[in-house]
Structure 1
Amino acid sequence: MTTDEPNVSIGDVSHSTFAIGSHARAVGHHGTAPQRDEAAEELLKAVRELRADLTRVRASEETDALRAALEETEEEITRTGRAAPSRRERLRELLTDSQTLLSVLASAGAVAGLVGL
């Protein structure tokens, strides 16, 4: 008895990206990290410094929101090589809401300057 179904064989799939199915989508993130320009590197450094400094201040709704946004920004720059304009705008908004923090932490002022505040 023979069948008309295709025969599929999958060998070694190490370091591969694939998807199976009619609506499947595969995204591979193999290889080296994306290239970052000087501005992205500078912002990433400032974001990391501010995140470290925020561990030294009393937590509030504002600092929690800023911490989360900084973490997302760091992840985005690391993953894509840049921070999207919407991400920079969100940081501007949070830093504007945290004016007291800007006067206390030099790292907050550095991030604020790099996102155009």
Structure 2
Amino acid sequence: MSEGRGGRVDRINRSAVNFGDHGSAEYHEAPRAAADETTAVLLDAVRTLREHLRLLTETDATTGLDGELAVVQGEIERTGRADPARLGRLRMRLETAVAVVAGLASTAAVVQVIAQLAG
């Protein structure tokens, strides 16, 4: 904008803006909070299971499960909820990997919370 001319800003989203000669601008985006307590419990259980998966020998089943867990984790962190269809895919991944992860207590926690959210 040149000097002497007016300007108008309607909206600025997800940006850092600086006005003035000596100003500075910083952009920080806090993760969105979980929509409800059950979703917060699911997020915690997903994080725990992902940590525990690192203790196991990597297989196609554990890699696929970790990938699906990562997607669910990211979705909850971004939006505060997990899409029911995504939870269905996670449940199928858990069933596929059951022989590998059945001994992990964190697996049961994720399955229980998915069941609560599914109704």
TM-score where L is the length of structure 1: 0.71
Contact residue 33 and residue 77 of structure 2 kept, 8 A? no
Q: 1:35 Cα deviation (Å)?
A: 3.6
Number of the residue aligned with 1:91: 90
Between Structure 1 and Structure 2, how many residues are aligned? 98
- Code of the residue aligned with 2:75 in structure 1: it is E
Contact residue 101 and residue 108 of structure 1 kept, 8 A? no
Number of the residue aligned with 1:20: none
Q: 1:103 Cα deviation (Å)?
A: 2.5
Give the SS at the match of 1:104. Answer: coil
Number of the residue aligned with 1:75: 74
Number of the residue aligned with 1:112: 111
Gaps of 5+ in 2: 17-27
RMSD value, Cα: 2.9
Please say if 1:34 is aligned against 2:5.
Answer: no
Please say if 1:46 is aligned against 2:48.
Answer: no
Distance 1:10 1:56 in 2: 56
Gaps of 5+ in 1: 1-6, 18-29
TM-score where L is the length of structure 2: 0.70
Number of the residue aligned with 1:66: 65
Over 3 Å counting, the alpha-carbon distance change for 1:15 and 1:71 in structure 2 is: closer
Q: What is the percent sequence identity of the aligned residues?
A: 34
Contact residue 43 and residue 114 of structure 1 kept, 8 A? yes
Contact residue 102 and residue 109 of structure 1 kept, 8 A? no
